[in-house]
Amino acid sequence: MSKKGEDAPNLFPGNWDVDTEMLLKTYELWFPQNWSPVDLPWDEVDSKNFSSDECVAQAYWMSKLALFEKSGIGAFGLAALQAARHNLEDPTKKFLSAVAFDECRHDEICRRACARVCPNFPYNFKPRTTLEEKAFRNVTALYDNGKRYWSAFEDAWDKYPLELIFSSFFFAEIGAQLIFREVGERSKNGVYGTAFKNITKDESRHLTGTIAMMERISSKMDAGKKAMMTRQMKHGFIYLSPLLFRPVNDFWHLPKDFFQYDQKLEELAFGAGLGVPTLDERREDWMKAIERHRSKVEALGIQLPEIKEIGLAGLETNVKKGDEISATPL
């Protein structure tokens, strides 16, 4: 990204080209579908209505989600900048900028929910019980791993072809649309229900737009790049696994009892009205969500990766322990 001189990528003169009508239409939907996290009736999420364990459990899941929202802000923001520097068609830049803003809005939901139920969690939190200590420790461990993810994602722009990164965004959006729909439908608390229904609307738009980008860009790719896309999808699965399944330790280096407490906290959060699906539901639903897009992806000559953990058939794609992953986020 540091190339200088006459030939270096540059925002100017820019363009207003529209090559992919579908991408323009999807971007335009952002305006009528706009919603405000500020206007939700936040006083209905009141720590007085919950036990202290239920409070930290809700803040825990929201902080886990915030990891992926934060990487979304960074990745889509950076992608919008790269789209402009490399003179991609106009709706690509605007669509990606709108997605980056959506991710800010989702992170804002996480921030506000934590502030209501467990002020200062996780950044300035002082645990008082074992459960609080484990929740805080788990989130800290996730964020530490997140640093490795982000460094690899920044490096990817110098390592991989631009088209590969832009056409791989759609995979995470499949998972995003799925998880938020489920959380929205299962939440008993009205604020969470409304917030996640709105987030699902955003994610559905992200999925439509990223598929439009993928179809346009990948139709011109050679077989080698298409094979790289299969690998990117596997990376995406591994990166999102702590939220959408259970952490895959090829990448995630977490404490031994991480998952034991993760499950305990998720159950408590569910009991408090935050509709987190169970592990078995996540496994099955993620597989089905990917299957729904199989024919579209395969029609472009791109194979899905085999993902044994959730029972997805596809091309065997090995990711060794310690490999950096550069998946694109939610």
Closest residue to bound Fe ion by CB: 206
Decide whether 55 or 83 has the Cβ nearer to Fe ion.
83
CB of 184 to Fe ion, least distance (A): 13
CB of 83 to Fe ion, least distance (A): 16
- d(CA 122, CA 215) in angstroms, rounded, equals 39
Decide whether 55 or 75 has the Cβ nearer to Fe ion.
75
- d(CA 251, CA 237) in angstroms, rounded, equals 11
Specify the residue for token string 């800010």: 104
CB of 191 to Fe ion, least distance (A): 17
Residue 307 phi/psi, 5-degree rounding, is: -130, 90
CB of 183 to Fe ion, least distance (A): 12
Instruction: Please give the residue ranges that form the binding site for Fe ion (CB under 5 A).
Output: 69, 72, 103, 106, 176, 203, 206, 330
Task: Please state, as a whole number, how many other Cβ atoms lie within 10 Å of the Cβ of residue 311.
Answer: 13
- Of 207, 153, 140, the residue nearest 180 (C-alpha): 207
CB of 102 to Fe ion, least distance (A): 6
Decide whether 176 or 221 has the Cβ nearer to Fe ion.
176
Decide whether 42 or 101 has the Cβ nearer to Fe ion.
101
Specify the residue for token string 């604020």: 191
CB of 172 to Fe ion, least distance (A): 7
Decide whether 178 or 330 has the Cβ nearer to Fe ion.
330
CA dihedral 90, 96, 98, 102 (to 10 degrees): 170
Specify the residue for token string 């990711």: 319
- d(CA 229, CA 163) in angstroms, rounded, equals 10
Decide whether 67 or 268 has the Cβ nearer to Fe ion.
67
The distance of Cα 97 from the centroid of its chain, to the nearest Å, equals: 15
Structure tokens at 139: 């989130």
